[in-house]
Each structure stands twice: as C-alpha cells, then as structure tokens.
C-alpha cells in the first residue's frame, strides 16, 4: 500500500503526472493516496533438482529455478522526504540585512501550496499516481558434480531482469506553480547475467576449502532509485536510452578463495608436540576486476529541466587512459580525451555526450588476508584461544576509482585508497575504513577465553 499518515500531514499526491509534459502537474485533493494499491501481484517460484548420475563416489545433479520477486515501492519515500519537503516543512532565502535577525525575519515561512512557486522554495515530493510495484524475474541453471565424499564442483548460469524499477527525477520549474519537484516513477530497467563456478571441500583431514569464480555483466538505466548519485537521476524518456550502460556495481570478474587448515603436530617428542599442536591457519584471497567510472561534466547538472550528470563527447584521436609512475596506481584518465557536448544560447547542454554511462574503468582489487590461531586447553570446560590476523598481508596497494568530474582539480586521478572510499561517513553510520577491503596492511591480536 502507499505510505500514509498515522498523525499529521500526509505525503502529497498529484495529478497531471506526465514526465514528457509536466505543465499540468498539480496537487491532488486532500485525502488522495500517493498512488493506488495494486492487488494480484503474484510471485510464483519453482525449483527442480534431478540426479543425472550416481555411483559410490560420483554424483551429478542438475538444479534449476525460476521466480518472480516484487519490491516495496515505498523504499524511496525516505529519500525524497527531507524535513523541508511539502507539506512537512518550508524554507526561504533572504539576502542582506543585519545580524542578529529582527523579529520579522525570524518568522518561519508558512507551509502552503502557494509557497511552492517561490524561488528557492522547498521541492514538491510525490509519486506517480499510477505507480506499480517494481518486480524482477530471476532464473538459474546449475550442474553440481561430487568429487568423492567430501568435495564437489558446480557450474551455474544466473540471470535476472528487472522491470518497472523505481527511479526519481529532480525537475526544475516543471510549471509556474512549482519551483522544483522530486518525482518518483517506474522508469528504470535492469539485466544481469553471470557464470558462476564453485569448488567446495568440506572439513576433512583438517582441511576445508571454498573457492569461486564469477563472470558477470549487469546493465541498467539506473542503479538506484535515489538521486544521491547523479547518474541515477531520471531524464526525459527521449534521452533515457542514453543512460543504458554497465551498472554502478558491475564487476566482470570476481575470484575468491578461503581455506582453513589444522596443522598436524609432528610426532617427534613430548615437548615438541606440546608446543606445536592445536595450531591452525585461515586464508582468504579476493580478486576482482576494475569497477565502472562514470565521467561527467562537473560544471553542468541539468538537461531539459532535469537534474542529472552530463557526460562529455569523446575527442577524436585521443587515448582514454594515461600511464606512468607519476599517477597513483600507475593510471589516470586523459583530460584531453573529452570535450563538452553542444551548448544552447544559455550555456546549457542540449544533449548527453556520446561517452556512455559507466563506460570507463578504474582499478582492480587484490587482497590476501591470513589468520593464525591456537587453542590452549585448560580443563574440560575451559580453554584459551590466541589469534593473530593479518589483513592485506602483502601490503598490496588498492586504489579507489579516479575522480570522474571534469573540471575538478584532481580529475582523472585516484586520490585515496579503496578502503577510504568505501568507508563513507563513519559518524553517519558508515563502516570504518580499517575494516574495509583495499586498505594498507594491518595486524590485530586477540585472546579469547571460552567456557
């Protein structure tokens, strides 16, 4: 069901919602739901497992599955509702005057429909009244082969197709009644295909192994419903096809392996056995190819009244990348390879550039983590565990994607490690860079008493 109030004002509903022509966009009468509730969203799922071959140590199994999965359309509500969104708040700009403000200046602006047309006013945030729940079709086919009693290898094809996905548009002055609007509709599409290979060894003779490789390609017109990443913002349907490209999270090749081994104590003498027994090691190796980079013009942010990232044209005869030890990671984007798209008389781009969305790539990742631990039995119910954990044991440098905004001073070069870029705002709930992939070597020790 659409979001609705428990107490206080309700989210505004609108009429005249047509992204190709917003001249008739208007607020619907009070009590109108944000969008209509749809019923009959059936999500069938079916699975199949068939044993192709069986012997004492060799078993071959075919597995397949298909499912329809719906998403909640209200997830975008929190993104479009700021505390100054109508009808929950309002703000106004005032220039000049003295400080402290006089009493007239301190009076908060009224929260009214008429105020939405004022320059610098809060945006109108609304859903398409004909919004439908987004859904994804998912399917897979896998062959699993047992290699003895403790080992197996599997090969899978995984696919999915997303339709009616949520996407938000930030529109400047859709008509004289609104200064700006954040509008949510079923505008995005996605496709994913992958080959996955996995080897697994259950714990046997002190050794346990899990290794996997994935080749995949994820394509969409937007990788998130929110507009915090400008390339995910909705653009007019006449330009939407130009946004189809690799997903923000598209990584073509991924390999990971994990192994645990209990080191057997040598049978030499009592002293050596007491010192060398109960040791084990754990390894994790992670490798993946480079992540996408979306190059855009930092000086422009609007296309036909829609806020979005404007991509450049490619300059003929110029290489896209520069190489050399003077660049972090040994690689940088070539600023001479990009030129601005055509501009109108007001200095605004008339179209997207011919460089595709997420067309370039940053840096790959390679990291090996190692842990060593030993158990010290104290009595039947008490033991002490010592652990030493080494992250990125080879201290291999992993760089974040290069700066992609043309016009920025550091355009084309990476300015931080991958761990720092993944860390985010720790104070706002981000994960500390120390615990992310792609940081410098770090070591930690621990003692754990188990009882």
Unique residue bearing structure tokens 């897979």: 140
Q: Is the pLDDT of residue 181 over 70?
A: yes
Least confident range of 137-146, 243-252, 265-274: 265-274
How far apart are alpha carbons 28 and 182 in whole angstroms?
16
Overall fold of domain 14-450: Maltoporin; Chain A (2.40.170)
Q: Is the pLDDT of residue 120 over 80?
A: no
How far apart are alpha carbons 121 and 320 in whole angstroms?
41
Summary mean pLDDT of the chain: 89
The phi, psi pair for 124, rounded to 5°, reads: -85, 125
**pTM score:** 0.86
How far apart are alpha carbons 28 and 12 in whole angstroms?
7
Average pLDDT value for residue range 299-319: 90
pLDDT tens figures, 362-405: 999 999 999 999 988 888 889 899 999 999 999 999 999 999 99
Q: What is the structure's pLDDT at 119?
A: 81
With 0-12 / 13-18 / 19 or more C-beta atoms within 10 angstroms meaning exposed / middle / buried, residue 381 is exposed
Would you state the structure tokens that stand for residue 386, as one six-digit string?
């010592």
Would you state the structure tokens that stand for residue 376, as one six-digit string?
């010290």
Would you state the structure tokens that stand for residue 257, as one six-digit string?
């392996």
How far apart are alpha carbons 420 and 423 in whole angstroms?
5
How far apart are alpha carbons 201 and 40 in whole angstroms?
44
- Which residues have C-beta within 8 Å of that of residue 451, sequence separation ≥ 6? 381, 382, 383
Q: What is the structure's pLDDT at 82?
A: 64
Q: What is the structure's pLDDT at 117?
A: 87
pLDDT tens figures, 355-365: 999 999 999 99
pLDDT tens figures, 403-439: 999 999 999 999 999 998 887 666 656 677 777 889 9
Average pLDDT value for residue range 122-149: 93
pLDDT tens figures, 34-79: 999 989 899 999 999 999 988 877 899 999 999 999 998 878 888 7
Selected residue with higher pLDDT from 215 and 3: 215
pLDDT tens figures, 245-255: 999 999 999 99
How far apart are alpha carbons 159 and 67 in whole angstroms?
11
Give the CA dihedral 424, 427, 433, 437, nearest 10 degrees.
-60
Average pLDDT value for residue range 12-18: 92
How far apart are alpha carbons 124 and 118 in whole angstroms?
12
Q: What is the structure's pLDDT at 318?
A: 95
Domain assignments of the chain as residue spans, ordered by start? 14-450
With 0-12 / 13-18 / 19 or more C-beta atoms within 10 angstroms meaning exposed / middle / buried, residue 130 is exposed
How far apart are alpha carbons 162 and 156 in whole angstroms?
20
> Would you say 370 and 274 are in contact if contact means Cβ atoms under 8 Å apart?
no
Q: Is the pLDDT of residue 29 over 80?
A: yes
How far apart are alpha carbons 251 and 221 in whole angstroms?
16
Q: What is the structure's pLDDT at 65?
A: 98
Cα 451 versus chain centre, distance: 41
pLDDT tens figures, 209-245: 999 999 999 999 999 888 777 778 877 665 656 789 9
């Amino acid at each position: 069901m659409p979001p609705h109030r428990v107490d206080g004002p309700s989210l505004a509903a609108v009429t005249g919602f047509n992204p190709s022509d917003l001249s008739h966009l208007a607020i619907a009468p009070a009590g109108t739901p944000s969008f209509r509730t749809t019923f009959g969203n059936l999500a069938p799922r079916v699975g199949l497992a068939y044993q192709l071959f069986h012997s004492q140590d060799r078993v071959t199994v075919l597995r397949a599955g298909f499912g329809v999965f719906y998403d909640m359309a209200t997830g975008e509500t929190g993104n479009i509702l700021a505390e100054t969104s109508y009808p929950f708040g309002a703000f106004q700009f005032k220039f000049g005057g003295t400080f402290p403000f006089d009493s007239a200046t301190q009076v908060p602006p009224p929260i009214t429909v008429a105020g939405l047309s004022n320059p610098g006013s809060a945006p109108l945030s609304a859903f398409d009244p004909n919004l439908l729940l987004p859904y994804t079709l998912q399917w897979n086919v896998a062959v699993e082969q047992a290699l003895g009693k403790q080992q197996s290898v599997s090969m899978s094809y995984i696919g999915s197709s997303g339709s009616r996905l949520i996407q938000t548009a930030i529109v400047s002055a859709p008509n004289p009644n609104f200064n700006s609007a954040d509008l949510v509709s079923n505008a995005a599409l996605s496709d994913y295909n992958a080959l996955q290979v996995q080897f697994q060894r259950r714990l046997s003779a002190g050794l346990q192994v899990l290794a996997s490789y994935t080749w995949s390609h994820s394509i969409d017109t937007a990788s998130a419903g929110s507009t915090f990443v400008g390339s995910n913002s909705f653009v007019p349907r006449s330009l939407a096809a130009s946004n189809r490209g690799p997903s923000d999270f598209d990584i073509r090749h991924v390999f990971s392996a994990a192994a645990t081994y209990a080191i057997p104590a040598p049978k030499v003498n009592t002293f050596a056995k007491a010192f060398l027994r109960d040791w084990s090691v754990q390894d994790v190796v992670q490798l993946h190819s480079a992540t996408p980079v979306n190059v855009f013009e930092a000086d422009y942010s609007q296309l036909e009244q829609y806020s979005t990232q404007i991509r450049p044209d490619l300059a003929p005869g110029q290489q896209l990348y520069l190489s050399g030890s003077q660049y972090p990671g040994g690689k940088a984007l070539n600023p001479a390879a990009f030129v601005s798209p055509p501009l109108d008389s007001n200095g605004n781009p008339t179209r997207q550039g011919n460089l595709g969305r997420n067309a370039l790539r940053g840096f790959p990742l390679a990291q090996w983590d190692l842990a060593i631990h030993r158990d010290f039995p104290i009595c039947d119910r008490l033991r002490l565990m010592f652990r030493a954990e080494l992250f990125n044991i080879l201290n291999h440098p992993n760089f974040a994607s290069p700066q992609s905004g043309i016009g920025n001073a550091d355009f084309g070069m990476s300015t931080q490690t991958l761990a720092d870029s993944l860390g985010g705002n720790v104070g706002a709930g981000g994960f500390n860079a120390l615990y992310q992939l792609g940081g410098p070597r770090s070591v930690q020790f621990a003692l754990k008493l188990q009882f």
